[in-house]
Each structure stands twice: as C-alpha cells, then as structure tokens.
Amino acid sequence: MSERLLIRGGTVVDGTGGPRRTADVLVEEGTIVSVGLNLSGDDVDTDVIDVSGLVVAPGFIDIHTHYDAQVFWDAALTPSCYHGVTTVVAGNCGFSIAPVRPEHREQIITTLERVEDMNPASLRAGIPWGFESFAEYLELIGRLGTVLNFAAYIGHTPIRLYVMGDDASSRVATRDEVEAMAAMVTDGLEAGAAGFATSFGATHIGADGRPIPSRCADRIEIEALFRAAAQTGRGVIAVNGATSQLHFKELYDLQLELGMPMTFTALLTVANGVHHRMLRVHREGMARGAKVWPQVSCRPLSFSFSMDETFPLNANHAFGDLVPRSVDDRRAAYADPEWRQAARDGWARGEGLSPEWDTYRLMECPANPDLVDRPLLAVAAGLGRDPLDTLLDLTLDEPDLRLRVQAVLANGDEEGVTELLRTEGSTLGLSDAGAHVGQLCDAALATDLLGNWVREKGVLTLEEAIHKLTQVQADLFGFADRGVIREGAAADIVVFDPETVAPGPLRRVRDFPANAERLTADQPVGMVHMFVNGTPVIRKGRFVEDALRSRPGVVVRPTRTSRGLTPARP
C-alpha cells in the first residue's frame, strides 16, 4: 500500500452534521492531512481513487457489539467490516471475557452461550486464554492485531465472578468485595477500557438457571462501581435493563451527580407502549442537563430461535425456569396445561414482552414441512387453536424440540422508530454484532439506516444519519480524532453510493471454529471503499485480503470523559 492516498472528487459528509460538499481527501501515513478542492495527487507514490458521485464519510462506530471472543479468530470482525464500520465497542451488557481466573473460563463460556447465543465449542477452540487481567486482554488483542479498531468495556459479570467466585450469582457482596471490585473497575479504565458495563436484563440467565452475576448486585455495589468508573475521568457507563435497585429514571440523577456519560440499552418500540414513558423520562432528564444516551435502532428486533433455546422468552419465569433443565423436562412442561397457563399468567403480570403473535412465522419444522414459512396465526386459525398451544403442540412433534420460529420482539412500529431516531440525545446502538449469531444479524444497522431510513423514508438527512454513526459516538466515548473527516484526524474513511446503499441479504454459513454455524450479512449493496487508519479494507466492494496480514486496526482507548456532547438534531 502507498503511504499517500488521495480520495478525489467525492461528496464529503464530514460527520459533524454540517452540509455536504465536494472535496478531495488526502491521507498520509494513516492520517488525513488535507481536505479541499484540487489537491495534488501527481506524486508517483500516491494512490489516487476517483469517487465522483459517491459519498465520502468517516468510518462508522458501532458501540454495541459482542466481539470480545470473535476478535481472536476473525480479525476482520465480519460482517461489520462490510457495512462501513471501522471501530467497534465490545464488552456490552457487562459480558467482557476479562478479568478471568483460569477456573472460571468455562463459566464465562457457558454464560456467553446462554445469554448471547455463542457456540461453546467455538469459544473453547477460538479463545487463546493467555490473559487474566483486563489489561492483559487488551494487550493480547493489540499484539495479535485487528483489521478494525477495537475498544471494549470492562464488564460487571466477570469482575463479580473474579472477586466472589461461585457466590457471584447468589448473594449481595460484602464491603471488602465491593472495594475489590471497584479497584478492578479503576484498573480496567486506566488500562484503556471504553467504560464500565453492566446488565440487569431479565432474559440474562446463566447456564445453571440462576441470574447472571451482575443481576445480584445491590444499590451499594452498583453506585460504588459507577463512582470508581467516574473517578477515572474516562469512558462511559453502560447499563442494560433495570432492577429494583436501579430504575431507568434514576440513571439521570446518578449521571448528574457523577458527571460521567451514560448509555442505556435499549429504547425500542414495544406493544405495551412503555417506550413512551421512557421517552418522557429521557426528555425530562435532558432538560435538567443529564447526559444519558438511550440506544435506539432502526431495525426491528427480529429473532430466529428454536424452542429448545428460548432466549427471547426467558424473562417470563415459566420459560426462564427451564433454562438449566433437560430436554425431557422441557418437553414435559410444554405438554402440561398448567405450565402453559403459568406462561400466560407471567406475560399478564408483565414478565417480559408479551409475544406479538402476528409476527411469528414457522421457519423450520421437520415433522410438518408443509408449514414452513407460514404465519403462526394462520396455522392456529386453521386448527381453531390458541397460538401458544399451536406453537407448543408443533414443537412437541419434534423429537429434539428444535422447531424454529422467527418473531419480531420489538421495534416493529415504523412511526415509533421514526420518533426514536429523531429523539435528541439518543444514540445508535444494539447491533449486537457478534452475539445471537444463530438467531439474528443486525451488524447491517448502518447500511439499513442509510438505505431505508435516509434514502427511502427520508426520516433523517444524510448529514444527520452520518453524524449519528460517527461523531456522536466518538464524542460520547472520548475517542480522539475519530468520527470526523478533517485535517489531523485518523483516516478511518468509508465511501458509498447513496443511491443504492442497502444491507443486502442474510445467509447461514459455517465458518466459525469447531465448524459452528452463524447468520451473516456479508453482501451489502453500495459499499464501495473503506479504509482503516489509511489502509484499504474494502476496495470496489470487495474485502482486501492484504488487510488480514497488515491488520491496520488499533486498540482504541478513551482519552477523556466527554462533556457537552452535541446530539444529532432532526
């Protein structure tokens, strides 16, 4: 690769939210050195690319991924690299894989299997456990190298497991244990963690059927760890879900007290309308000056899951209690009318989201192949049965209970999603790239936003959308010199065709360690070029294999706690 790169004649949308302009972008040794008209590219050592008619933008920053393990066997972090993403943030929901004692590695693996649908055989084969502390984890990633830039939270669950061992999922921490955990948070942030992440999500249940460790924390522990993170002056506090000890509304009070930016997963449209109440809380908090950034998504939360692993339904205790049980126990429960009524009663009490049965579609049912791709409600109507009874009866026809359905759990309301995307102080997140790999693939969030919500629906302008995908994220985390196209910034650059950009198809492949299967989206439309720190990763729509050898990505560490963040405005 030439050390000089000239991207000539494109429409530059610089990430700041300002108006587009025609300009050349000159890159030297991984840094943007000039942006303007008629820049010289006559030097024989300059790689000149004509991008007339195309948009030139900063590389996108995906702040909600779970590439913590995949980074070791897939340096390109596919499929994110195909969708204009040049920087990822892993460790979301508190599921980092460090710090970790050797005796807890298997529990980390089974936790990721249950809550993030990662194949345990892939994790066992693919993670080189040459680290124990979080600093050692980042150091190993930096030494091995990545194609994309990589950042990661230090997570509550591994910290609690490291300090408390087997008690991590069963009791409140002692004062000494809280102090030990707080010290580990401080060490992690000082070592370069993107922030501190935790989860109180009701669907986050470990392999033994108990809540994940972070869900057992009391208010004293939660606040102590938040304070430890805030005192470093770096990064972000990220929270998934809510708990009796910490409600969504209280995040705004804590943020005003601590000063450290916070982000919350996730603000999605749901049938019961709770997102309207969350929006009111957010707007009231914003009016008081709080910097809490709910993560929103432009994609419907659509899961493809089988009935022997019902992660999307596990917030309902009837399903959640079956997590550690055998297939035979699950079969007996599914056949029991009293268990079925208990499931209905759980949804009536507000345990998880009540299924939107009109979105359920049968995907794989070997015992009844004629029903494949049919809506569940249509099948239920034909049988004169309730949709839950129909689903469970069809599941019982399968010897291994592996009937697969696809269902939209949230964010299916276009008008509601429009409101969320236009909400001041919201940020784009929840791609979940690297997680739920057999159930969904939302790594295409950026190309979906640019194609469907900018070009087709006109919900955001191109400038607004790119601002949300770039500078907003970089400023939130304090990633210096990223998220913008300007002199002195890192040359993370994406070039795409605004007239055709689209997410492309999903497909199932077997390319993970131990021959594991996953969903991927590696064939987007309209993504022409991408550069990470000035090195080509995508050229003319194709992945550049040399990038796997040069590995131009770096471990990105926040330089400061950001103040006065500029939200994308509609």
Instruction: Annotate 356-368 with DSSP letters as a single string.
Output: -GGG-EEEE-TTS
* Integer Cα distance of 361 and 339 in angstroms: 23
Q: What is the pLDDT of residues 84-126, one digit of tens each?
A: 999 999 999 999 999 999 999 999 999 999 899 999 999 999 9
The interaxial angle of helices 248-258 and 274-287, nearest 10 deg, is 20
Strand partners, 239: 198, 264
Q: Which residues contact 141 (CB under 8 A, 6 or more apart)?
A: 71, 72, 150, 555
Residue 551, number of CB atoms within 10 A of its CB: 17
Radius of gyration of the chain (CA): 23
pLDDT band at 132 (very low <50, low <70, confident <90, very high): very high
Q: What type of residue is 289? A: G
Domains and CATH numbers, the chain: 60-299+427-475 (3.20.20.140), 303-409 (no CATH)
| pLDDT at residue 562 greater than cutoff 70 | no
What is the chain's mean pLDDT, rounded?
94
Q: What is the DSSP letter of 355?
A: P
* Total count of residues recorded for the chain: 570
Half-sphere exposure of 255 (CA within 13 A, CB side): 27
| pLDDT at residue 569 greater than cutoff 60 | no
| pLDDT at residue 58 greater than cutoff 90 | yes
| pLDDT at residue 43 greater than cutoff 80 | no
pTM listed for this prediction:
0.94
126 Cα distance to chain centroid: 20
pLDDT band at 414 (very low <50, low <70, confident <90, very high): very high
What sign for the dihedral angle of Cα 295, 299, 300, 305?
negative
| pLDDT at residue 244 greater than cutoff 90 | no
Q: Which of 352-356, 433-437, 489-493 has the lowest mean pLDDT?
A: 352-356
Q: Are 251 and 239 in contact (CB under 8 A)?
A: yes
Residue 266 Rama label (left phi>0; alpha psi -120 to 50; beta):
beta
* Integer Cα distance of 422 and 401 in angstroms: 42
